Amino acid sequence: MPMLKEPWKKYKPFKSGEEKWRYFKMLCELGYKEIEVSFPSASQTDYDFTRRLIETPGAVPDDVFLQVLSPCRPDLIQRTVDSVRGAKNAIIHIYLATSACFRQVVFGYTEEQTLELAVECTKLVRSLTKDDPSTSGTNWQFEFSPETFSDTDPDYVVRVCQAVKAAWGPNGEAGDQIILNLPATVELATPNVYADLVESFCNNIGDRNDVCISLHPHNDRGCGIAAAELAQMAGADRVEGCLFGFVSVFILKAHGRLLTTNSNGERTGNVDLVTLALNLYTQGVSPNIDFSNLNAVIDMVESCTKIPVHQRAPYGGSLVCAAFSGSHQDAIKKGFQNRKRLGLTSQDPWNDPWNGMPYLPLDPQDIGRNYEAIIRVNSQSGKGGIAFILQAKLHLDLPRGLQVAFSKVVQRRTEEVGRELLAHEITNLFKTTYFLHKNPYFSLLDYNITPDRSASPMLAPGQTQDTKSLIRIFDGVILVNGEEVKLRGRGNGPLSSMVAALKEVGVDLDIHDYKEHAIGEGGNVKAASYIECKHTHSNQIVWGVGIHEDVVQSSLIALLSAASSFVTSRPTSPILKPTTNTIVQDKPKFISILEEKANGM
């Protein structure tokens, strides 16, 4: 992506209520239960959006809380509460900075003045909500944020929150604890320091069961996730954050309660809820949030914010499920092959979510990613990754020697083109290299394999009637460089008789290795054959590949593919001189052409 000259010009809040509407719906579908939808006192648009949610039947699921945010200013609190009148579930969230810096620099308040303002505003919220019988149809919750918590004297912040808690009064029905939200408004220190402050707060706030302790980490030092995770271990119950750290503020409670604001632009953003949730997932803990189609979430986030999710963003980045380096690809390929065999897989994903898979922290399919995208091939790649692609795309299980040989072909091509080769380019290169599309040198037109009855088969020492070698005759018509040529050879099987026939046109190969396997099953099954040959005189090794419904034909095609590989690897060698006992009557044109080539004409 080209660097933007003035990137901030691209970064916009939600363009329209429609985008925010769609976004809200997506959050509900993902499973978030507390969604901070607006700062209603800031603009008519935010206010109207909140009203629309409440007034549209069915827009807000019954178990979702709409959270709205306000500073500790009575006029703004009044408007904020008005915006959620009639909601089934609502959280009024007010905030006030408590640090010495903010008290002195921004507000000019003493410690006591700040505490009194927080208490006064809490009482105002209470009088407008749970103490007002006309609003009894709403299930009210209250949240207070001592903004700049992590820069505030720990004893003082506990004192403010205890006073706020007392002002809010006793909890109502079970579960409606007061939410005390502890923002690292700016991330100022290492994450363990934030976690220590949270732990100390949990230990000192009192009546711990009546309080929901919430985290609100930012990411100024790049430690938002670590801060959130350590602080949860230190005792917190709930986390506020955003998808990919930007867009909106969401709140994730331990059992999947969440929330969002419309804010799009706090420096490095809030803690990333995608990473947080999927970090839990990879530990075998369900976050109760459904990221099984993460790409759709990314599309929505990017289209609403115009901020691209970075290619290396944890879990969501486009390169995260991709491996370019050879040793990684090899290990991943072996993981796919061996996990099952070694009994490392489990029917119960929560017992054993993704055991025995090197390098991949989770199954890419769990977040809607494709296995085929995992292995990407450039000049850093080795045989394992290439074999993985051929297996995935063409269902070919290449023998190790062929993997090595073909990886050299791919390596040369990646260096020539100076970039990654895409999967379809690799499969095409394979088909061209081994003449699977078309074989211009040797192509089998017709053949017959018959037993040689000219003499009784002799039993060699150690052979039985069952294991004795029967002599076979290959009679075939092969299109050689465009010319039809009749060839005949004798051997103890179809392949060796064709090897003998090829000698008649100067192709002098010995079969070194042979492997075949089925592709597919049922009526559509095909045979894939792989042949490694050694040239009798030069000792050069070549590979051939054949695919055909008929297993014998597949092996013969593989042999012709190997013969052709030999021709293309040594185009100037006079390899195709007919011998005296050839069955071919006329010297075919292809021989003349190759001879001319060999003679440098």
Ligand X SMILES: CC(C)C(=O)C(=O)O
Could you list the residues that contact ligand X (CB under 6 A)? 95, 145, 147, 181, 183, 185, 216
CB of 147 to ligand ACO, least distance (A): 5
Mask: binding to ligand ACO, 128-147, rule CB under 6 A, as x and -? -------------------x
The one of ligand X, ligand ACO, none whose footprint includes residue 96, by CB under 5 to 8 A per kind, is ligand ACO
Shorter beta-carbon distance to ligand ACO: residue 104 or 448? 104
Q: How far apart are CA 501 and CA 490, in angstroms?
A: 7
Stretch that binds ligand ACO, among 34-42, 151-159, 207-215, 543-551 (CB under 6 A): 34-42
CB of 216 to ligand X, least distance (A): 5
CB of 396 to ligand ACO, least distance (A): 56
CB of 99 to ligand ACO, least distance (A): 12
CB of 114 to ligand X, least distance (A): 15
Beta bridge partners of 94: 70, 144
Q: How far apart are CA 512 and CA 508, in angstroms?
A: 13
| 96 binds ligand ACO, rule: CB under 6 A | yes
Site for ligand ACO (CB under 6 A): which residue of 41, 114, 411, 439?
41
Nearest residue to 274 via CA among 214, 228, 324, 322:
228
Q: How far apart are CA 69 and CA 382, in angstroms?
A: 54
| 122 binds ligand ACO, rule: CB under 6 A | no
CB of 98 to ligand X, least distance (A): 10
CB of 289 to ligand ACO, least distance (A): 24
The one of ligand ACO, ligand X, none whose footprint includes residue 216, by CB under 5 to 8 A per kind, is ligand X
CB of 276 to ligand X, least distance (A): 16
The one of ligand ACO, ligand X, none whose footprint includes residue 42, by CB under 5 to 8 A per kind, is ligand ACO
Q: How far apart are CA 421 and CA 427, in angstroms?
A: 10
CB of 185 to ligand ACO, least distance (A): 6
CB of 17 to ligand X, least distance (A): 22
- CA dist 297 → 22, 25, 35, 176, 258 (Å): 11, 12, 16, 30, 16
Residue whose pair of structure tokens reads 């040793």 in the numeric block: 327
Stretch that binds ligand ACO, among 65-73, 395-403, 422-430, 570-578 (CB under 6 A): 65-73
Site for ligand ACO (CB under 6 A): which residue of 107, 109, 336, 514?
107
Site for ligand ACO (CB under 6 A): which residue of 32, 39, 49, 244?
39
Q: How far apart are CA 321 and CA 315, in angstroms?
A: 8
CB 143 within 8 A of CB 84: no
Q: How far apart are CA 401 and CA 562, in angstroms?
A: 13
Task: Identify residues 255-284 at the interface with ligand ACO (CB under 6 A).
Answer: 263, 266
Residue whose pair of structure tokens reads 């010495």 in the numeric block: 100
Say if strands 526-535 and 541-548 run parallel, antiparallel, or are unpaired. Answer: antiparallel
Stretch that binds ligand ACO, among 12-20, 71-79, 250-258, 581-589 (CB under 6 A): 71-79
Binding residues for ligand ACO, how many (CB under 6 A)? Answer: 14
CB of 239 to ligand X, least distance (A): 12
| 186 binds ligand ACO, rule: CB under 6 A | no
Q: The tokens of 391 are what?
A: 């297996």
List CB contacts of 5: < 8 A, sequence separation 6 or more: none
CB 323 within 8 A of CB 371: no
| 73 binds ligand ACO, rule: CB under 6 A | yes
CB 307 within 8 A of CB 13: no
CB 593 within 8 A of CB 576: no
Shorter beta-carbon distance to ligand ACO: residue 78 or 379? 78
Residue whose C-beta lies closest to ligand X:
183
> Would you give the end-to-end CA distance of the chain in angstroms?
51
The one of ligand X, ligand ACO, none whose footprint includes residue 107, by CB under 5 to 8 A per kind, is ligand ACO
Q: What are phi and psi of 338, to 5 degrees?
A: -100, -15
DSSP state for residue 56 in the 8-state scheme: S
Virtual CA dihedral for 418, 423, 425, 428, nearest 10 degrees? 150
Residue whose pair of structure tokens reads 């991709």 in the numeric block: 322
Instruction: Please give the full DSSP string across 247-307, using - where no structure is assigned.
Output: SS-EEEETTS-----S---STT-B-BHHHHHHHHHHTT---S---TTHHHHHHHHHHHH--
Nearest residue to 441 via CA among 600, 589, 601:
589
| 101 binds ligand ACO, rule: CB under 6 A | no
Site for ligand ACO (CB under 6 A): which residue of 47, 95, 250, 430?
95
Shorter beta-carbon distance to ligand X: residue 106 or 518? 106
| 106 binds ligand ACO, rule: CB under 6 A | yes
Say if strands 211-217 and 238-241 run parallel, antiparallel, or are unpaired. Answer: parallel
Nearest residue to 563 via CA among 591, 588, 532:
532
| 13 binds ligand ACO, rule: CB under 6 A | no
Shorter beta-carbon distance to ligand X: residue 231 or 547? 231
List CB contacts of 445: < 8 A, sequence separation 6 or more: 476, 477, 478, 479, 484
> Which positions touch ligand ACO (CB under 6 A)?
39, 41-42, 71-73, 95-96, 106-107, 147, 185, 263, 266
